[in-house]
Amino acid sequence: MLNKNNLSLTLVEFAPEWENADHNLNFLSRLLLGTGPTDIIVLPEMFNTGFSMNSAKIAECMNGKTVNWMKEFSLNNSKAICGSIAVFENYNYFNRFIFVNNGEVCACYDKHHLFSYGGENKNYSSGSRQIYFNFKGWKIFPTICYDLRFPVWNRNTENYDLLLNVASWPDNRIDVWDTLLKARAIENMSYVCGVNRTGMDFMNLNYSGHSSVVSPTGTLLKLNKINNFLFQQLIEKSEIHLWRNKYKFLDDRDSFKWI
């Protein structure tokens, strides 16, 4: 049994087949049998379809096949699973992060910063609020891809322990991805886990993964490679307490409120 003060993360890098949820879910069903003991399986942004702007075609309801697949997987394998998909709800389309455990949806977050350069703001609605949730004693803050660029949104006013970012971050800007993951960890004194896809999408953009776990001091942790798609890392709550108690940088945060 895993120590309750530690958390085992499995990061999944793969190339989703474009707008083909059935294929991608079948692939993941086979792939994830090889994860072994772990607490959370983290999938990339829009893992079931790829980062498509064809929201009317790919979006599902919350009782659709992808969420039901996540529920069934978590229940049958005693593991939490999360990632983002396109969701249709209340006549709007959202890029939604979904966290499932024990066959139940435990948390949802709708992407706030829509990638206007790629037209996401024209095809999806922006989420209006941050979400924090607790899992096995860890306070987790989920974000999606482009959110990572905005430090105010990620600002650790709630003393979260782990920032999760699921992404479709192309290779031509991968140095920015690497830098921002470390920056968010350092300034927030939290672990940061970023999971990015691989392969080439329908727009001929290439993705090279670079999924990472960064410590509260900004150290890039060496992942345990299971195979070409699966990587694991154990993170420790004591590491957070050590540095926050020693330096207390978060006590010196500026105080301000959203207007």
How crowded is residue 88: how many other Cβ atoms within 10 Å of its Cβ? Answer: 17
How crowded is residue 84: how many other Cβ atoms within 10 Å of its Cβ? Answer: 28
Which backbone phi and psi does 119 adopt, to 5 degrees?
Answer: 80, 15
193 is catalytic: no
139 is catalytic: no
The conformation of residue 137, written as its DSSP 8-state character, comes to T
Best CA proximity match to 48, nearest among 38, 58, 56: 58
Catalytic residue among 82, 108, 145, 193: 145
Which of left, alpha, beta for 5 (phi over 0: left; psi -120 to 50: alpha)?
Answer: alpha
Catalytic residue among 79, 111, 182, 237: 111
Q: d(Cα 74, Cα 76) in Å, to the nearest integer?
A: 6
* Residues paired with 235 in a beta bridge: 7
45 is catalytic: yes
| Dihedral sign computed on CA atoms, order 116, 120, 125, 127 | negative
How crowded is residue 157: how many other Cβ atoms within 10 Å of its Cβ? Answer: 12
CA separation, residue 229 to residues 14, 17, 186, 199, 243 (Å): 6, 15, 27, 11, 32
Strand order in the sheet with 104-110: 104-110, 92-101, 80-89, 40-42, 6-12, 230-236, 224-225
Catalytic positions: 45, 111, 145
